Amino acid sequence: MAKLQRVRGTYDLYGSAKKKTRQVERIGEEVAEKYGFEEIETPVFEFTEVFARNLGDTSDIVTKEMYCFSDRGGESLTLRPEGTAGVVRAFVENGMQQNLPVKFYYHGPMFRYERPQKGRQRQFTQFGAELLGVETPQADIELIAMAYEFLEKLGLAGEVTVEINSLGDAESRDAYRRKLVDYLRAHYDELSADSRERLERNPLRVLDSKEECDRLVVENAPLYADSLNEASAAFFAQVLAGLDLLGIKYRVNNRLVRGLDYYSHTVFELVTDKLGAQGTVLAGGRYNGLVEQMGGGAVPGIGWACGVERLAMLLEKEPESPRPVAVVPVGDEALPAALKVAYELRRAGVPVEQGYGGNLKKRMARAARANARAAVIIGGNELAAGVAVVKNLDNGEQKNVPLENIAGELK
């Protein structure tokens, strides 16, 4: 059977849905640039190693979600499942450590082999930001504030909650891991099969589990906050104080650990209750060990990424595009004049709806469908007088305007 259909989990975006995703990306760019971030574009595929090494070999992404393939030269390549690994690879490879801090934003397609459902696709778009080279909580506060303002500008601030937690430094993380493993071992029989396996490989991930039986166990698990050493607790307190100062509301969620291995200290998610199980629209955290792991020296980093389609689904209406002007020739002899007027209007910045055929009635109906604000009607009489009828389609008023003044009149 011929497969002339889109692959499961991929979508054709057009019309209102495309306008909404574009709006999300545009506002993201605008906000990020205001915060001093510059755009970076890294390749859509990388050596598999770039992701396998960085995301950790126990993460869901690496164990079951990557699109890997061998190219004709026999290299193992992977379609990028997320943006941070590629940005950090580019940072190290281009020697950007010389000029810190480095602040990048990006957007583009990501690929994950997941079970498709509402808000979960196999090709989706992320918009993300990374800040490299700042060790202090100022960076954490700035990134969360930027994420919050981004959603505010999209009109979604009222619908999302900032959830935040601290994983602390390596010492705190080890201490917590030990306590958690002891606790989970004592409840081994109650855990799901997946979580029993996680217990050995990456116990923190059990906290993330969506299985009901795991959730019951996790409810009484030791609290992360009790394992933070003094320095880590002080760092987290400063991040929260910064958010308080800016009036950004948050909820400390002790169970929030995030799926990737590279996080330390602050992790956060912006969550809505509108998308069911796919309620996380934006997520991020600090990754102080990642650059070093890539061979780039001890450069701290922090970043976030959001699902552009998930955010677009929350937008009630698409952004309004400017209303066009319809150019309406009556009879073939008016076509050249209409062509010229349309060209001049467009060059003057006026969007033009140009009917490609049909009589006056058909063309006026099309103008109404396009929500045109005015029609420029050019018939035989007008042509002879070197004018066109400019009709305001909202109030029906009309007047004759010399052909060469039309662009000026409608600008």
Shortest Å, Cβ 278 to ligand ATP:
6
Distance of CA 223 to the CA centre of its chain: 31
Alpha carbons 156 and 282: distance in angstroms, whole number: 12
Measured from the CB atom, is 238 or 278 closer to ligand ATP? 278
Shortest Å, Cβ 32 to ligand ATP:
16
Q: Which stretch binds ligand ATP (CB under 6 A): 226-234, 246-254, 304-312, 340-348?
A: 304-312
Tell whether residue 278 is a contact of ligand ATP (CB under 6 A).
yes
Site size with ligand ATP, rule: CB under 6 A: 19
- Among 166, 172, 209, 280, which residue interacts with ligand ATP (rule: CB under 6 A)? 280
Shortest Å, Cβ 92 to ligand ATP:
21
Tell whether residue 112 is a contact of ligand ATP (CB under 6 A).
yes
Shortest Å, Cβ 247 to ligand ATP:
24
Tell whether residue 307 is a contact of ligand ATP (CB under 6 A).
yes
DSSP string covering 342-385, please? HHHHHHTT--EEE--S--HHHHHHHHHHTT-SEEEEE-HHHHHH
Strands (E), 57-113: 67-70, 76-79, 102-111
Nearest residue to 137 (alpha-carbon basis) of 66, 212, 238:
238
Shortest Å, Cβ 285 to ligand ATP:
9
Distance of CA 111 to the CA centre of its chain: 14
Residues counted in the chain:
411
Shortest Å, Cβ 11 to ligand ATP:
10
Beta bridge partners of 270: 162, 282
Tell whether residue 78 is a contact of ligand ATP (CB under 6 A).
no
Tell whether residue 167 is a contact of ligand ATP (CB under 6 A).
no
Tell whether residue 354 is a contact of ligand ATP (CB under 6 A).
no
Alpha carbons 165 and 144: distance in angstroms, whole number: 12
CA distances from 346 to 91, 311, 342 (A): 42, 32, 6
Tell whether residue 259 is a contact of ligand ATP (CB under 6 A).
yes
Q: Examine residue 101 and say whether the peptide bond preceding it is cis (omega within 30 degrees of 0).
A: yes
Nearest residue to 60 (alpha-carbon basis) of 255, 258, 243, 231:
258
Measured from the CB atom, is 151 or 383 closer to ligand ATP? 151
Tokens (6 digits) for 76:
């193992």
Tell whether residue 271 is a contact of ligand ATP (CB under 6 A).
no
- Among 21, 59, 121, 253, which residue interacts with ligand ATP (rule: CB under 6 A)? 121
Residue 254: Cβ within 10 Å count: 15
Tell whether residue 353 is a contact of ligand ATP (CB under 6 A).
no
- Please answer whether residues 275 and 268 qualify as being in contact, where contact means their C-beta atoms are separated by less than 8 angstroms: no
Tell whether residue 309 is a contact of ligand ATP (CB under 6 A).
yes
**21: Cβ contacts below 8 Å, ≥ 6 apart:** 13, 125, 308, 309, 312
Tell whether residue 130 is a contact of ligand ATP (CB under 6 A).
no
Counting beta carbons within 10 angstroms of the beta carbon of residue 238, is it exposed (0 to 12), middle (13 to 18) or buried (19 or more)? middle
Tell whether residue 305 is a contact of ligand ATP (CB under 6 A).
yes
Residue whose C-beta lies closest to ligand ATP: 307
- Among 281, 294, 377, 407, which residue interacts with ligand ATP (rule: CB under 6 A)? 281
Tell whether residue 124 is a contact of ligand ATP (CB under 6 A).
yes
- Among 29, 114, 194, 211, which residue interacts with ligand ATP (rule: CB under 6 A)? 114
- Among 89, 205, 286, 310, which residue interacts with ligand ATP (rule: CB under 6 A)? 310
Measured from the CB atom, is 54 or 121 closer to ligand ATP? 121
**Footprint on this chain of ligand ATP (rule: CB under 6 A):** 82, 112, 114, 119-121, 124, 126, 259, 278, 280-283, 305-307, 309-310
